[in-house]
Structure 1
């Protein structure tokens, strides 16, 4: 058996190594929102279903993110699964300094006052139950309290550093 050249010369752990490896990992695209003095939100590819009973989800958020100060205090958050026709919305919520809740964004206040985005594949409103320190991020764990899976459509996916759609 011949060893793979990649296994013969492993790279030392670094932020760039982690980013390079995770560019190979396709992930669904979500937008996380919270209500503050002004609503906040960001694009996340770290959304995970944690448990069914009670229904829990988790996601990571950088403590240097402009959304973090509101998320650090929020009792409830919104989780929005984006559709393949929404790469612009994902880009808006991923871009630093963007007017995320401006006139071009379809949104309303939902249960618990959480900003809800229109036209998404599905959404949840969740009660934050924990914020776990993890390096320069926090892992937020939240319990689902409301939601709607009926938006339909195919999911938006993040792979190789870009938003894309699934292929048949």
Structure 2
């Protein structure tokens, strides 16, 4: 017989507890981009593969994010998987108020006029399929329609509130 844990001891209702638990979860680092009147983008650690047929992924974006108004209307988004040598790029796209597409960021317009970052491990252009309200965020589900997995190197990770690399 298994003992039932005392659920009153630790309550997940506290946002601080929730964040502290997820700081222990290592996540890959991606940059999501879209185009409105200009390019927008943000660093995401919530990227998830949803299905292979059709090829669907999801990511979360805060309702208060400066990118949300564009993402709320965008038909397509860019998803960029960052390499371990791209900590500064990840930090730039995570920084509020930064001109994220100014030099030294290198980028170009890709399929569906989506801003594509140069030098990443891999990228996808995705058609937005759904936007689902989820608390103070929206979950965006998108279908991959183009991409390139040919970058080289190892992935950038986010763990314990910092960007990290894999260790051998």
TM-score, normalised relative to structure 1: 0.94
Q: Secondary structure at the match of 2:21?
A: helix
Q: CA deviation at 1:9?
A: 3.5
Q: CA deviation at 1:103?
A: 1.8
CA deviation digits over 1:116-154, x for unaligned, max 9? Answer: 000000000000000001001000000000000000210
Tell whether the 8 Å contact from 2:80 to 2:122 is kept in structure 1 after alignment.
Answer: yes
Tell whether the 8 Å contact from 2:12 to 2:18 is kept in structure 1 after alignment.
Answer: no
User: In the aligned structure 1, how far is the partner of 2:45 from the partner of 2:80?
Assistant: 11
Q: CA deviation at 1:18?
A: 1.0
User: In the aligned structure 1, how far is the partner of 2:51 from the partner of 2:12?
Assistant: 34
Indicate the residue corresponding to 1:155 in structure 2: 155
Instruction: Report the CA distance shift for 1:7/1:41 in structure 2 as closer, same or farther (over 3 A).
Output: same
Gaps of at least 5 residues in structure 1 are none
Q: Secondary structure at the match of 1:19?
A: helix
Indicate the residue corresponding to 1:95 in structure 2: 95
* Divergent runs of 4+, >2 A: 6-9
Q: Secondary structure at the match of 2:103?
A: coil
User: In the aligned structure 2, how far is the partner of 1:77 from the partner of 1:141?
Assistant: 10
Indicate the residue corresponding to 1:83 in structure 2: 83
Gaps of at least 5 residues in structure 2 are none
TM-score, normalised relative to structure 2: 0.94
User: In the aligned structure 1, how far is the partner of 2:163 from the partner of 2:8?
Assistant: 32
Indicate the residue corresponding to 2:42 in structure 1: 42
Number of corresponding residues: 164
Indicate the residue corresponding to 1:73 in structure 2: 73
Indicate the residue corresponding to 1:135 in structure 2: 135
Indicate the residue corresponding to 1:27 in structure 2: 27
User: In the aligned structure 2, how far is the partner of 1:18 from the partner of 1:8?
Assistant: 15
Q: Secondary structure at the match of 1:18?
A: helix
Q: CA deviation at 1:8?
A: 8.5
User: In the aligned structure 2, how far is the partner of 1:143 from the partner of 1:62?
Assistant: 20
Q: Secondary structure at the match of 1:105?
A: coil
Q: Secondary structure at the match of 1:84?
A: coil
Indicate the residue corresponding to 2:58 in structure 1: 58
